[in-house]
Amino acid sequence: MGCDSTRICVGIAAPPNPIPAPVYATICQGEIYQQGESEYDETGQYTDTLTASSNGCDSIQTLILTVLQAEAVIAPPGVLGCGGSSTLVLDGTGSTYIPGAALSYWSGPGVVSGGNTLTPTVNQTGTYCLTVTHTYQGVTCSDTECVVVQGIYIPPNQPSLTGPLNTCTGATSTFIVSPSGTGLQPTGFTWAVTGGVLSGSGDTIEVTWTETGQGRFA
């Protein structure tokens, strides 16, 4: 028929993807966080280009990653001295510790004080373990380290004894022990006597003899 026609084309642009808010994530040391096709295992800020499955458009995603490095470290312990009053301070200050976000506690047979600090005081030999726990953004990471505390088992120097070796029945004798030498010294004495009545304690005693007898101390 020779008539003309007009075709009108209308282009509709896809709306731009909104810029997403940063993602905050927390993991434990040794773990991996995956964003898109990328994997991260260190604290830092990372930016990745992600493709939306709905419209095929790219978007920029920022990741702020925190890696909790909970690590318990105990310095080699000293040797616990002999005697019931001997104590030893353990040293866990080499551990990773974040005030307000970390907790430490010790387990062992003789924790006297400081069980929730990095420097406890102990008074017994045995195995002591330190657990360090970090908690942040709802994530908790822990690490445990153990050491063995040993004691001194070297016998102390033999002290010297002064007092009469010969006496009469009914007489009272005084005996005194005193340290000798410069090595390890006794911290206490135990006395035993036969043939008499013992009084006193420590390094000085008196014995009233009722018959021929003998005594010893340890």
Are residues 165 and 136 part of one domain?
no
Give the span between the Cα atoms of 112 and 94, in whole angstroms.
21
The last residue of one of the domains, among 149, 179, 202, is 149
Most confident of 9-13, 80-84, 112-116, 199-203: 112-116
Express each pLDDT in 15-53 by its tens digit: 555 667 899 999 999 999 999 889 999 999 999 988 766
Is 199 a member of any domain?
yes
Look-up: residue for tokens 């004080």? 113
pTM over 0.75: no
Are residues 128 and 166 part of one domain?
no
Average pLDDT rounded to a whole number, residues 70-98: 89
**Residue numbers of the domain that contains 207:** 160-217
Is 137 a member of any domain?
yes
Are residues 144 and 92 part of one domain?
yes
Parallel/antiparallel/unpaired status of strands 23-28 and 58-68: parallel
Domain count, the chain: 3
Are residues 165 and 141 part of one domain?
no
The last residue of one of the domains, among 99, 130, 149, is 149
Are residues 128 and 94 part of one domain?
yes
Give the span between the Cα atoms of 7 and 20, in whole angstroms.
40
Is 72 a member of any domain?
no
Is 106 a member of any domain?
yes
The last residue of one of the domains, among 13, 32, 67, is 67
Exposed/middle/buried for residue 166 (C-beta within 10 Å: 0-12, 13-18, 19+):
exposed
Give the span between the Cα atoms of 34 and 41, in whole angstroms.
9
Are residues 58 and 108 part of one domain?
no
